[in-house]
Amino acid sequence: MLLGQDKPRDAATKPKMRTAVGGNVAATVHPIASHAALSMYKNGGNAVDAAIAAALCLGVVDGHNSGIGGGCLMLIRTQQGAIHAIDGREAAPAAASETMYVRNGKPAAELSQIGSLACAVPSQIAALKMAHDKLGTLKWSALFEPAIEAAESGYTIGLATHNAISSERENLTKYEASRDVLLNPDGSVPKVGAVLRQRDLAHTLSKIAKNGPEWFYTGEFAKACVAYLEKQSGMLTRADFANYKAIERPCIKSNYRNYQVIGFPTPSSGGIHIAQMLNMLDKFDVAKIYSHSKGDFFHLLAECMKRAFADRAHWLGDSDFVKVPTFLVDPHYAASLASQIQLDKASTAIVHGNISSDDEKKHTTHLTTADSLGNWVALTSTVNTTWGCKVMIPGTGVMLNNEMDDFSIAPGVPNAFGLVGSEANAIAPNKRPLSSMSPAIVLAKDGTPFLTCGAAGGPKIINATLQNLVRCIDLNESIDQAIASARIHQQWRPDVVYHEPNLGGLRQGLSIDRDSESEETKHLKKLGHPLKVASSLAIAQGIQSTERGLLAASDPRTDGEAVAYP
Ligand code: GLY
């Protein structure tokens, strides 16, 4: 429900703090969610409580990126030093098949992106509950309070929500609840500054707060959702909901310089490929290369990215269904890849794939929290592309994901991110689609946490996280400086290095006509890299342990905020 041009009256309208230092910190893409985390600290909660409250809140105030209709991956380092990798990735319906998107003998990609056939089993609630059961300290219902309040009282629409509605207006119009909740009664897009109230979503959140995930997976939500989807020729059943389980998985550990990097295993591809690229970079004196030529630094990164994404397309899928080879994270394998990299020339050797566009839309969200006890959380959450499959279930306020598009719907057919895949990531009943979400935590030699980062932005997540890690570890930059630096992205196919404006400097603002050529881009071109400028390559958040305390940083590419509680 939309109200007119109300007076700005919430945290979204206050000046944003991009960095914050303190004992208990958080960084998210929306001030209201960051403040939800802060309120958990104030009430005596820990970083896990803060992360859960922030994630629930983001589903209300940033619902085009994530929400309870989607899923998440959660990486936690506890105060005792244990690591938990909680896989809350959506699962395909039991009736799913490799041919479910084939029409008249041809793959119909739109079906995996828009409408009721595109959604997999929503999984965020199951993952958040698992994290809370293991490590939370506040009451489950208390974690929902800020999200319920934001849904019930409304929040002021900012540019991100406005643009997300605007870009999908036509598709949202097709579904009654999406239309009624997100558009003005005349079908127009609400202006920045209008207030968005989501009373159905407030009701749904209140029920889950009170009755637990059962209400969602086996109770009224599953019933309403399946009944509506059936009318729309969807595939999800009550049994799909009832059978969904979050899974705790062994994390990926790799050594880089003097640190141990903890990454997320499959169905994320990020943990494996970040480890693989760091293993390649380990063979180079990155700091020296950077001080000699930033252009060479970006060239080296692009060469590593190209090789990792070629492997991703071929080998990666849900390891509960296919064998993902362990050699991908073996330093010897990385050494052989690194030995093929020429520092004076872009390689063109590798095969496969196609991409349709340099899609710069924003997807997904990453948030991070850490507390004075030593609990650290990196949580990436998503409904996949903007507003997921665009189907909101009437009476619930829940927008469903379109995570089925993260499968390879047919060999060689690119998904919404231009990623191609092989049999390893083909659709199968109950299988989880491959993800690029890459929550990462870096530990010092003595096991104490040094850094955490992650990002939103499809496959750009992997490369943005790599760059932030390398900048902090090799170049000794602070996490806010690393996050603000202009990035590159290479995903093997197409053979293009995407770069942000002002490459070699800091990235601020989102205009792409300013300084899009730099010494670094000229150098990359000279070495043979095809280039394309992109306004924004991923949205990252991070936390670093410093002498002053925990430093939280929110990406200047969007309207997020970092907060601290002493
Ligand atoms: N849905 C985007 C990803 O998981 O990579």
State in Å: Cα 435 to ligand 1 middle.
4
Instruction: Out of 403, 405, 408, 425, give the residue to mutate to test ligand 1, the one with the largest number of ligand atoms within 8 Å of its CB.
Output: 403
Q: How far apart are CA 157 and CA 292, in angstroms?
A: 45
The CB density around residue 204, as the number of other CB atoms within 10 Å, is: 25
With cut-offs at 50, 70 and 90, classify the pLDDT of residue 245: very high
Give the pLDDT mean for 519-528.
96
Question: What residue numbers bound the domain in which 457 lies?
Answer: 250-365+437-550
Is the domain of 219 the same as that of 277? Answer: no
Local confidence band at 409 (pLDDT 50, 70, 90 cut-offs): confident
Pocket test for ligand 1, best of 316, 409, 417, 425 (most atoms within 8 A of CB): 417
Q: Whose CA is nearest to atom 3 of ligand 1?
A: 435
Kindly tell me the burial class for residue 104, based on how many C-beta atoms sit within 10 Å of its own C-beta (0-12, 13-18, 19 or more): exposed
- Is 454 a pocket residue for ligand 1 (Cβ < 6 Å)? no
324 & 457 share domain: yes
CA torsion through residues 89, 95, 99, 100, sign: negative
pLDDT band at 16 (very low <50, low <70, confident <90, very high): low
The yes-or-no answer on residue 218 being catalytic is no
Selecting among 204, 364, 368, 465, the annotated active-site residue is: 364
Evaluated on CA atoms 176, 54, 40, 8, the torsion sign reads negative
Share of the chain above pLDDT 70, in %: 93
Which of 268, 365, 384, 463 has most ligand 1 atoms within 8 Å of CB, for mutation?
384
Asked if 354 and 282 sit in the same domain, the reply is yes
**pLDDT exceeds 50 at position 8:** no
Q: Is the CB of 436 under 6 A from ligand 1?
A: yes
Q: Is the CB of 364 under 6 A from ligand 1?
A: yes
Digit-coded pLDDT (tens) for 138-156: 999 999 999 999 999 999 9
Ligand 1 center from residue 139 Cα (angstroms): 30
- Tell me: pLDDT of 359 over 80: no
CA–centroid distance, 338 to ligand 1, in Å, is 27
Alpha helices, DSSP H only, in 459-528?
Answer: 460-473, 479-484, 519-526
546 and 468 housed in the same domain: yes
Each residue's pLDDT tens digit, 369-379: 999 999 999 99
Q: Is residue 525 part of a domain?
A: yes
Model pLDDT, residue 353: 27
17 found inside a domain: no
Residue-averaged pLDDT of the chain: 92
Contact yes or no for 146/37 (Cβ under 8 A): no
pLDDT at 420: 73
What angle do the packed helices 47-61 and 199-211 form, to 10 degrees?
A: 150
Distance, CA 112 to ligand 1 centroid (Å)? 13
The reported pLDDT for the residue numbered 333 is: 92
Q: Is the shortest distance between the CB of 536 and ligand 1 below 6 Å? A: no
Rounded to whole angstroms, the Cα distance separating 323 from 321 reads: 7
Give the integer Cα–Cα distance in Å for 13 and 209: 28
* Nearest partner of 289 among 299, 280, 279, judged by Cα: 299
Residue 404 shares a structural domain with residue 265: no
**What local confidence, expressed as pLDDT, does residue 129 receive?**
98
Q: What is the pLDDT of residue 539?
A: 96
Q: Is the CB of 456 under 6 A from ligand 1?
A: no
222 and 124 within one domain: yes
Same domain for 153 and 39: yes
CATH number at residue 341: 1.10.246.130
565 assigned to some structural domain: no
**Average pLDDT rounded to a whole number, residues 328-346:** 93
**For residues 386-395, average pLDDT:** 97
Residues 388 and 322 in one domain: no
How many Cβ atoms are within 10 Å of 323's Cβ, its own excluded?
Answer: 9
233 and 254 part of one domain: no
- Cα of 436 to ligand 1 centre, how many Å? 5
Q: Is the pLDDT of residue 203 over 70?
A: yes
Examine residue 94 and state whether it is found in any structural domain, yes or no.
Answer: yes
Q: Residue holding tokens 């960084």?
A: 27
- Answer yes or no: is the C-beta of 382 below 6 A from any ligand 1 atom: yes
**What is the C-alpha to C-alpha distance for residues 333 and 277, in angstroms, rounded to an integer?**
11
Mean pLDDT of 167-182: 97
For the stretch 92-137, pLDDT in tens is: 999 999 999 999 988 898 999 999 999 999 999 999 999 999 999 9
Q: Is 518 in the pocket of ligand 1 (CB under 6 A)?
A: no
Amino acid found at 522: K
Type of residue found at 224: A
Is the pLDDT at 383 greater than 60? The verdict is yes
Q: Are residues 270 and 378 located together in one domain of the fold?
A: no
Residue 387 shares a structural domain with residue 308: no
- In whole angstroms, what is the distance from residue 125 CA to residue 240 CA? 15
pLDDT category at 551 given cuts 50, 70, 90 is very high
DSSP 91: B
Same-domain pairing of 192 and 264 = no
313 Cα: distance to centroid of ligand 1 (angstroms): 14
Domain count, the chain: 2
Burial annotation 38-65 (CB, 10 A radius, 16+ → b, else e): bbbbebebbbbbbbbbbbbbbbbbbbbb
Q: Which residue's CA is minimally distant from atom 1 of ligand 1? A: 384
Percent of the chain surpassing pLDDT 90: 86
- CA–centroid distance, 285 to ligand 1, in Å, is 32
By C-alpha distance, which of 344, 493, 313 is closest to 408?
A: 313
Q: Please give the pLDDT value at position 476.
A: 97
Please give the order of strands across the beta sheet that includes 2-3. Answer: 2-3, 195-196, 155-156
Q: Do 451 and 523 meet the contact criterion of CB atoms below 8 Å apart?
A: no
Task: Say if ligand 1 is within 6 A of residue 388 CB.
Answer: no
